[in-house]
Structure 1
Amino acid sequence: MSTEALARLAEERVDHRFKGLPPDADDLTVGELTAQRRNLFTDGFATPVLALSAERLEHNLRLMETYATRHGLAFAPHGKTSMAPQLFHRQLEHGAWGITLAMPHQVRVARAFGISRIFLANELVDPAALRWVAAELAADPSFRFICYVDSVRGVQLMDAALEGAARPVDVVVELGAGEGARTGVRTEAECLAVADAVAATDTLRLVGVAGYEGEVPQADPERVRAWLTRLVALAVDLDKAGKFARTEEIVVSAGGSAWFDSVAEVFAGIPELSLPVLKLLRSGAYVSHDDGHYRRITPFNRVPEEGALEPAFRLWSQVVSRPSPGQAFVNAGKRDAAHDLDLPSAQVVRRDGVERPATGIEVTRLSDQHAWLSTAPGAELEVGDWVGLGLSHPCTSFDKWPLIPVAEADGTVVDYVRTFF
């Protein structure tokens, strides 16, 4: 199914739905356009256009594969960052155990493209979605699905929706990251009550514990490690209480993109339990990385000997107005650039095939379709110049572009990544 579904992506017709692509490519299939190996800068692409670096994308995939292997971690990268089935499969090719997702409709996308192991890092109490999951499990014995639970009431709702299901749904108790954090059980006593509620059903099977350390209030290495230590202790206590009697392995899972070094450190100390332990890391933003939020907080900054991720996105825009010596406007705005955490950064200026650093040029504001640039005295910038922008927070970059060119360093476009948000 996955091969056929991915092949169908190449058969999709290029048209007005896909911004930035060459207008003269209309009615070509994506596969036909890919085969032409057009150049991003000289072969008809229109600004603004978002591009992924082919080399940096491959570097990031390889780096996290080796990182997980080195630290004895299974890896289920969070797919909600990209929602790109082609990238899901590349992550699996680079050793990923499966794919993490956040919402039922994302699970449907992943299943449509043949993903056989899915970790839903969220509670799931919607009856229609649960019945769909049950049908998928019944139809495909190889399908592995795990989701959070964090309340007795949630367990009851799941049990009612899944009545008569052929296979139980695997669940992990989500330990909350602290008072005032997001979802998750707040106390160990409540965790035990949730585990007991699961054990009282035939429709659910408790397979482990999980959570998200990125929600630890006032997160720092000490607080994050303390919460991760609680998570491991919870797994140990539930195992001693016999709560994993119906499973073959115990899942202990955490790991966003800011603290996976702490996850690796604490998980290395998980003691021997009654069953094999699946130490499941879920970091996802690495695949494209970024030029803002994650570049500042990546664990590789704290442990540089482990390697370094590389920002793989660049948003190419064009100067459309230069109304004063200190001001310019390019044709990319909120509809095109991630802006929920940081503004884009001006990196390079391109004119007549020559690139130079965007010295003295700063993005100060975004409108819907424009970025406001402040230009220092002597900054060389003219109407018609292309400005390459670095982006912050990949989670809100992919969702603005349904078809993204993947370009080599010289601008040759070698692939197109289809997203589904």
Structure 2
Amino acid sequence: MNIHDLDTPALLIDVNVLDRNLRKMAQYCNDHRLALRPHIKTHKMPEIARLQLQQGAAGITVAKLGEAEVMADAGIEDILIVYPLWGEKKWARLVDLASRVRVTVAVDSLAVAAGISQAAKTAGTEIGIRAEFDTGFRRCGWPIAASSMDEIQKIIALPGLRWDGILVYPGHIMGNQTIREQDIEREDETMDALFELLGSASIPYPVVSGGNTPAAFASHRFHGLTEIRPGTYVFNDRNTVDAESAEFANCALAVLVTVVSTSVSQRAIIDSGSKTLSADPLLSGDRLGYGYVLGHPEFKLEDLSEEHGHLTIPSGSKINIGDRLRVIPNHACTCINLHDRVFVVEGEHVVDEWKVAARGKVA
């Protein structure tokens, strides 16, 4: 099938760019002796998870238990859940998952750890635990303080749990290269303080897991890291490009769209709005717009309705109803979660079709 045979909007993955992205990250981690445990929240597809494992990933990372169940059903055997799991129903699902695959969970409270411990003990299984610390993103994680060490020691003593080490998420390290240089220095100071506290409390930390996509290729500069969990690197997106962490040539994901209206002066409407591209704002660069039109930097995707993308067209530019364009979304992760399937392309040819199997698995 040719790309031109597809109805639009259609989500495309360039298989050659995807392969280059996977190989580049795998090689980097190998060169710097870092374990790679990619976050599958970006792609949500077992097909890509398998490719990552074939390239040497130590396992995968997921956000939600539902994503973990999809991946386990597909044969993925080593899964880290980086989300605080609360409640009897989730703990029951977690121990069922642990009976099938090696599973580890990030925790940032004694209450969650105790609930998981009781469920694991009752089921006669073991669940890995990593303590999450907040290094500046202020989302989840224990504060880096002596009081936190007391809770960690209590968790290590709980039955049914396997102590694996610690975990951080430097989601606050975004910006551009210059800003990240400063942020990494501050992050290292914070990590050094954490290591000192852990050492003083005689708490072992065989695994130190961190990393994100914008700073992924500087991960060797983060003090103490043994593992990284980037996600967006598989596709890249406009955020990644504007953060100076990739180029548009490294973007494997694009939405194929059609121009459906040119009635308004210096405006063209495409058949993809917030329900196709997602309405996530740009978090880097000039922070303007909702995507990048490949091959037409002069076209600005300035606004989105639910089903309409609003392109501003410079005077004198030629654009017609029926023209097809490719749009790089601001945020690949939220964009892909809006689609049931993706079309895998090589050049102008559609070579495969993959189901977004973990789409909508929010529980």
1-side partners of 2:199 and 2:75: how far apart?
33
Give the 3-state SS of the residue equivalent to 2:124 in structure 1. coil
Is 1:413 matched up with 2:350?
A: yes
2-side partners of 1:299 and 1:47: how far apart?
29
Higher relative contact order (CA 8 A, sep 6+): 2
Tell me by how many angstroms 1:266 deviates.
2.4
Is 1:157 matched up with 2:97?
A: no
Aligned twin of 2:34: 73
2-side partners of 1:384 and 1:216: how far apart?
41
Is 1:378 matched up with 2:316?
A: yes
2-side partners of 1:359 and 1:240: how far apart?
54
Counterparts in 2 of 1:359 and 1:145: CA distance versus 1, 3 Å = closer
Structure 1 residue aligned with 2:240, among 278, 282, 294? 294
Amino acid at match of 1:257: T
Structure 1 residue aligned with 2:155, among 191, 198, 202? 198
Tell me by how many angstroms 1:150 deviates.
1.4
1-side partners of 2:270 and 2:249: how far apart?
28
Aligned twin of 1:404: 342
Aligned twin of 2:286: none
Tell me by how many angstroms 1:47 deviates.
1.4
Tell me by how many angstroms 1:74 deviates.
0.4
Give the 3-state SS of the residue equivalent to 1:164 in structure 2. helix
Tell me by how many angstroms 1:91 deviates.
0.6
Tell me by how many angstroms 1:359 deviates.
5.9
Aligned twin of 1:353: none
Counterparts in 2 of 1:361 and 1:225: CA distance versus 1, 3 Å = same
Structure 1: give runs of 5+ residues left out of the alignment. Answer: 1-37, 271-277, 302-307, 349-356
Is 1:252 matched up with 2:196?
A: no
Aligned twin of 2:231: 284
Aligned twin of 1:264: 220
Amino acid at match of 2:37: A
1-side partners of 2:256 and 2:206: how far apart?
46
Counterparts in 2 of 1:99 and 1:165: CA distance versus 1, 3 Å = same
Aligned twin of 2:285: none
Aligned twin of 2:183: 223
Tell me by how many angstroms 1:236 deviates.
6.0
Once the two structures are superposed, residues 166-201 of structure 1 have per-residue CA deviations (whole angstroms, 9 ceiling, x without a partner) of 2332111111123x7111001331331221111331
Aligned twin of 2:2: 39
Computed over aligned residues only, the root mean square deviation of the Cα atoms, in angstroms, reads 2.5
Indicate conservation of the 8 Å contact 1:165/1:203, yes or no.
no
Indicate conservation of the 8 Å contact 1:177/1:217, yes or no.
no
2-side partners of 1:217 and 1:415: how far apart?
34
Q: How does 1:74-153 map to 2 (within 5 A)?
A: 74-137=35-98, 139-140=99-100, 143-153=101-111
Counterparts in 2 of 1:228 and 1:157: CA distance versus 1, 3 Å = farther
Structure 2: give runs of 5+ residues left out of the alignment. Answer: 283-288
- TM-score, normalization: structure 1? 0.76
Counterparts in 2 of 1:214 and 1:228: CA distance versus 1, 3 Å = farther
Is 1:314 matched up with 2:254?
A: yes
Give the 3-state SS of the residue equivalent to 2:275 in structure 1. coil
2-side partners of 1:406 and 1:224: how far apart?
36
Counterparts in 2 of 1:236 and 1:131: CA distance versus 1, 3 Å = farther
How many equivalent pairs are there? 349
Amino acid at match of 1:416: E
Amino acid at match of 2:242: R
Counterparts in 2 of 1:360 and 1:255: CA distance versus 1, 3 Å = closer
2-side partners of 1:187 and 1:324: how far apart?
55
1-side partners of 2:34 and 2:66: how far apart?
27
Once the two structures are superposed, residues 373-395 of structure 1 have per-residue CA deviations (whole angstroms, 9 ceiling, x without a partner) of 22211100111111222221111
Is 1:166 matched up with 2:113?
A: no
Aligned twin of 1:207: 164
Tell me by how many angstroms 1:309 deviates.
7.2
1-side partners of 2:298 and 2:183: how far apart?
39
Identical pairs, percent: 24
Indicate conservation of the 8 Å contact 1:120/1:145, yes or no.
yes
- TM-score, normalization: structure 2? 0.88
Give the 3-state SS of the residue equivalent to 1:258 in structure 2. coil
Amino acid at match of 2:2: N
Give the 3-state SS of the residue equivalent to 1:81 in structure 2. coil
1-side partners of 2:172 and 2:256: how far apart?
33
2-side partners of 1:56 and 1:216: how far apart?
25
2-side partners of 1:153 and 1:163: how far apart?
15
Tell me by how many angstroms 1:94 deviates.
0.9
Amino acid at match of 1:384: G
Is the deviation greater in 255-264 or in 202-211? 255-264
Indicate conservation of the 8 Å contact 1:148/1:171, yes or no.
yes
